[in-house]
Amino acid sequence: MVMSSIKETIAPHGGHLINRVATAAEKKEFMAKADSLPRVTLDLRATSDLVMIAIGGFSPIQGFMEQKDYESVVDDMRLANGIPWSVPITLSVSEEVAEPLKEGNWVRLDDSNGNFIGILELTQKYHYSKAHEAVKVYRTDEDKHPGVKVIYEQGEVNLAGPIWLLEREAHPLFPAYQIDPAKSRALFVERGWSTVVGFQTRNPIHRAHEYIIKCALEIVDGLFLHPLVGATKSDDIPADVRMRCYEIMMENYFPQDRVILAINPSAMRYAGPREAIFHALIRKNYGCTHFIVGRDHAGVGDYYGTYDAQHIFDEFKPEELGITPLKFEHAFYCTRTEQMATAKTSPSQKEERIHLSGTKVREMLRRGELPPPQFSRPKVAEELARAMQIKS
């Protein structure tokens, strides 16, 4: 057993891990006033943002952003105090919802089922430009982009202020994998890991992922597999299927004593380069010292250059972000060397390389075809095919 005096791997972003989960006394006070408070209903993304703020995943943010932070993040990828932050965290409502709400008062936050889950101390409400946010954050104003579509469909007024989450409840699908930042940090200390690499994906894990993960694992003490299970596009593979694929990989292909599998409860933005920074800072808050950034991280369609998500890290000083990006080329199976490789390690020509897009794999699965073993581990492919057939 490692002594508890071992230092944490890395400081949280901003230097302090935020905890906005209500104490028993605070919850009792909030519940006593529940019926008298004005209500705002959160969608899935806002609900996951509420949770991520409360558990410290978005440290140093303590609530939905006020105008000065919002504008600074949108325009300069920094909070108003200069700390790097790349994606605005906002609660947007309609004019009709915002009008009766008074700054300085509490607002009751309900989930989409009408359950009382949080409190907002309303410090500010303000208008914003949807088109400006879209172009700056997503690099496009096309509503075909899923992130831009969300902006255009949300309300015209942002509500801002610190929040409290009433209670940290177990995840309905993955309670065993719900490891919040304070716990993951403690686990890393317990295992004696001083360097930890985080890996993010919204897609099922395949051989290219496995290759770059294991390359990274060669240079650090431990791996934090952290797939996203918050809101995603309707045509993305469901979270429960992706988690089963990770379990298969854990059981068969990874050294279990050097890997921790946990869920990332945040929602996808599909903001490409900006979201790569966002994802890295989240993993920093969970205690990771390194973060894998592959080809077109958090991208969608053709909106971003192949390696834009890697180049954006060069816009910050390393000490500002405080987490080391591990930048990998597009991995593939090389038929000449008969192993996984990238252009940096393989002498092969284009026709000797097997790599399939997620779209192409989904089309194969819908037809009942399994991706080749050079692309996906057979047990993982079988799980994906089974799930896709059930969905069809």
**Annotated catalytic residue: which of 20, 139, 185, 202?**
202
- Give the side-chain half-sphere CA count within 13 A for 342: 14
- Rounded to the nearest 10 degrees, the angle between the axes of helix 239-252 and helix 378-391 is 160
**Cβ-defined contacts of 48-52 (< 8 Å, 24+):** 48/230, 48/231, 48/265, 48/266, 48/267, 49/89, 49/91, 49/266, 49/267, 50/109, 50/117, 50/118, 50/163, 50/165, 51/165, 51/168, 51/265, 52/265, 52/266, 52/282
Instruction: Please give the C-alpha separations between residue 225 and each of 46, 98, 205, 214, 337, in angstroms, as whole numbers.
Output: 24, 39, 10, 11, 28
Is 158 a residue of the active site?
Answer: no
Backbone φ, ψ for residue 222 (5° rounding) = -150, 165
Please say whether the beta carbons of 301 and 233 come within 8 A: no
Instruction: Please give the C-alpha separations between residue 80 and each of 51, 73, 313, in angstroms, as whole numbers.
Output: 23, 8, 20
* Residue spans of alpha helices (H) in 287-345: 308-311, 318-321
Distance linking the first and last C-alpha atoms of the chain:
49
Please say whether the beta carbons of 267 and 45 come within 8 A: yes
| Gap between the Cα atoms of 104 and 39, Å rounded | 15
- How many beta carbons lie within 10 A of that of residue 265, not counting itself? 20
| Gap between the Cα atoms of 324 and 282, Å rounded | 13
Instruction: Please give the C-alpha separations between residue 117 and each of 31, 48, 151, 357, in angstroms, as whole numbers.
Output: 10, 11, 23, 39
| Gap between the Cα atoms of 84 and 385, Å rounded | 41
Length of the chain: 392
Is 19 a residue of the active site?
Answer: no
Catalytic residue positions, numbered: 202-203
